Structure 1
């Protein structure tokens, strides 16, 4: 796999496959050398045991009209946040493939229209741990961008994958599984759930995974399935890939359970793939329809307190009526008592 890129100052390298870079600053191409290891290889791929030694080479072709001066070095590989395989910058100290591949010729001058083969060696440490390692061989040209007042690093490289022999133990783990429910556009009925988790390569072999997600209520009621919108990349040993999968139209059932099923796939040295036993993870979350609860609480409050309020209001009205009648009777008696007292005095 060829890599073409532009790096400005400390911006990380972003790998993009290309046989030739479409830019005025990159006038050269790279390819694998033709030797006993093969001809027209698309990348460097090796299966070596600890302590092994190997010789190989990189061919640089100058398509421009002027000689090109290039730095050449080996670098470790890693998976970027976009899922692409990238190579570390020259300033980063290699610890794996970038250290095992030694390029004696650190600088090469390629005349216009000519090709130059750059040999390199591979030495696997005797105590190397079995498993998969990624890296590559890079050619680099640093040019000054007068407009932006920065140095721009143009790089072309070829990936190198090394599988060190020994006990291979592929393993996939699901870490930090969780689920959230947002209430959705119709809060009284349904909402969208989001299942969070990390696909973690816990073994020593590169792998990818097909993962599916499901969210259900108690006893599996209302289960809704979903799949991620994009496939998981190939993860090197120790790497992780963060997922946030949207599961639409999950009913508001108070409590919900999310389950994740991931089937890891491993590719062997011959290119054959093997699907391993699936890994399952789960988590519990809340799907509480708060607006509906408020309405229910108001309804319950009205059902419980309403009759009491009516009875109290009726009693108050009755008490007020009784008081009014008593006052009227008392007033009437008082009015009738005055003439009687006067008549008694006259007699």
Structure 2
């Protein structure tokens, strides 16, 4: 039986997670979304990028830095509420959630990249109602940092007590940081754990559906999204059917994976199926320009036996064989009866001749 403390801990974790997702979706994702806002009654604040040599009205932070280099920038925090605010300020590593959204690690989780390299000029900031504060931060990239893409964010956080529940709720609001460390860039997506399964139909002459599943794995050092194309065919590429439009996977950070399941309708049960997936990686640079890379292809095979048609053919064969055997048996019986009639006739005739001789 869970204890009260356990239930409270689970509730806090759920609230932290929900708050982080909802606020970061507004702050760290979505070009041109404007300043992100956290509001609850009389408590409200916004965050936005500072206007400086890196640009104005930026939706997020993006940098190209060589190993050993540093970046200095700032975030502007505004208090839109009616009471003074004391907000914690910190940086954290980013990751892609199961829903395909960017999230940042909570403060109790250890960061090893941007969350460890970025440091705000202060751990907390106090802002009076209607006022703003500019919070500077510095990113110091280690000299031995591996080249490639890193994603994280700089966050403000407010911890409030919920008297009714007896818990503390941590509300976070932050802005994404995308950092590309200079050096050899090796973008690569792999298709793994590829399977195709066929679901038949009761119609012996009908078509069924195939389900294609695989995992997209970012095995390179660059953040990548992609375009997908999936088809299913019979032997020698015959009876090929393409899947309908497939949703693009989220941008995956180096090392991340994304599971894909694609339905393909109207597949002919050609006994042995071949499914082919083509994945075109898309690389986005710091300026926002996207480049298509060399497509990656993978093939998987599966069985698609037309069981209803097979059973119908088997039943027909049984009927034909039975009819043939019945016909042969009938002919044999007719010959036997005819032979018996002839023998009886001959025997009767011979008995008649014997009587006349006597």
Q: Distance in 1 between matches of 2:329 and 2:166?
A: 84
Q: Distance in 1 between matches of 2:175 and 2:134?
A: 14
C-alpha RMSD of matched pairs (Å): 2.6
Q: Is the 8 A contact 2:228 2:246 kept in 1?
A: no
Question: Which is helix-richer, 1 or 2?
Answer: 2
3-state SS, counterpart of residue 219 of structure 1: helix
Listed one character per residue, the Cα deviations across residues 293-338 of structure 1 (whole Å, up to 9, x for unaligned) are: 122111122222332245446767998x89x99xxxxxxxxxxxxx
Listed one character per residue, the Cα deviations across residues 102-148 of structure 1 (whole Å, up to 9, x for unaligned) are: 12422222111111222221110110000000000111112233444
Q: Is the 8 A contact 2:39 2:45 kept in 1?
A: no
The one of 51, 65, 81 aligned to 1:48: 65
Query: 1:230: how far off?
Result: 1.8
Which residue in 2 is equivalent to 1:342?
Answer: none
The one of 210, 213, 216 aligned to 1:193: 210
The one of 26, 30, 38 aligned to 1:17: 26
3-state SS, counterpart of residue 86 of structure 2: strand
Query: 1:259: how far off?
Result: 0.5
Greater shift, 304-313 or 191-200, is seen at 304-313
Which residue in 1 is equivalent to 2:6?
Answer: none
Query: 1:184: how far off?
Result: 3.9
Q: Is the 8 A contact 1:177 1:197 kept in 2?
A: yes
Q: Tell me: CA distance 1:64–1:26, structure 2 relative to 1, closer, same or farther (3 Å).
A: closer
Greater shift, 119-128 or 221-230, is seen at 221-230
Q: Distance in 2 between matches of 1:153 and 1:282?
A: 47
3-state SS, counterpart of residue 186 of structure 2: coil
Listed one character per residue, the Cα deviations across residues 167-224 of structure 1 (whole Å, up to 9, x for unaligned) are: 1111121111211111146454200111111222111111111111111101211111
3-state SS, counterpart of residue 293 of structure 1: helix
Which residue in 1 is equivalent to 2:349?
Answer: none
Matches within 5 A, 1:98-113: 98-113=115-130
Which residue in 2 is equivalent to 1:292?
Answer: 309
Pick the structure with greater CA Rg.
1
Greater shift, 59-68 or 305-314, is seen at 305-314
Q: Tell me: CA distance 1:142–1:184, structure 2 relative to 1, closer, same or farther (3 Å).
A: farther
Matches within 5 A, 1:110-259: 110-184=127-201, 186=203, 188-259=205-276
Q: Tell me: CA distance 1:37–1:125, structure 2 relative to 1, closer, same or farther (3 Å).
A: same
Q: Distance in 1 between matches of 2:293 and 2:154?
A: 32
Q: Is the 8 A contact 2:42 2:82 kept in 1?
A: no
Which residue in 2 is equivalent to 1:57?
Answer: 74
Query: 1:22: how far off?
Result: 5.1
The one of 51, 62, 87 aligned to 1:34: 51
Matches within 5 A, 1:64-83: 64-83=81-100
Q: Tell me: CA distance 1:262–1:26, structure 2 relative to 1, closer, same or farther (3 Å).
A: farther
Listed one character per residue, the Cα deviations across residues 44-70 of structure 1 (whole Å, up to 9, x for unaligned) are: 111101011222222110000001121
Q: Is the 8 A contact 1:103 1:120 kept in 2?
A: yes
Listed one character per residue, the Cα deviations across residues 262-292 of structure 1 (whole Å, up to 9, x for unaligned) are: 1111112232221111111111111112222
Q: Is the 8 A contact 1:26 1:154 kept in 2?
A: no
3-state SS, counterpart of residue 30 of structure 1: strand
Query: With structure 2 as the length reference, what TM-score do the two structures score?
Result: 0.82
Which residue in 2 is equivalent to 1:329?
Answer: none
Query: With structure 1 as the length reference, what TM-score do the two structures score?
Result: 0.84
Q: Distance in 2 between matches of 1:91 and 1:303?
A: 76
Q: Distance in 1 between matches of 2:246 and 2:163?
A: 42
Q: Distance in 1 between matches of 2:135 and 2:61?
A: 14
Q: Distance in 1 between matches of 2:163 and 2:326?
A: 83
Q: Distance in 1 between matches of 2:42 and 2:113?
A: 30
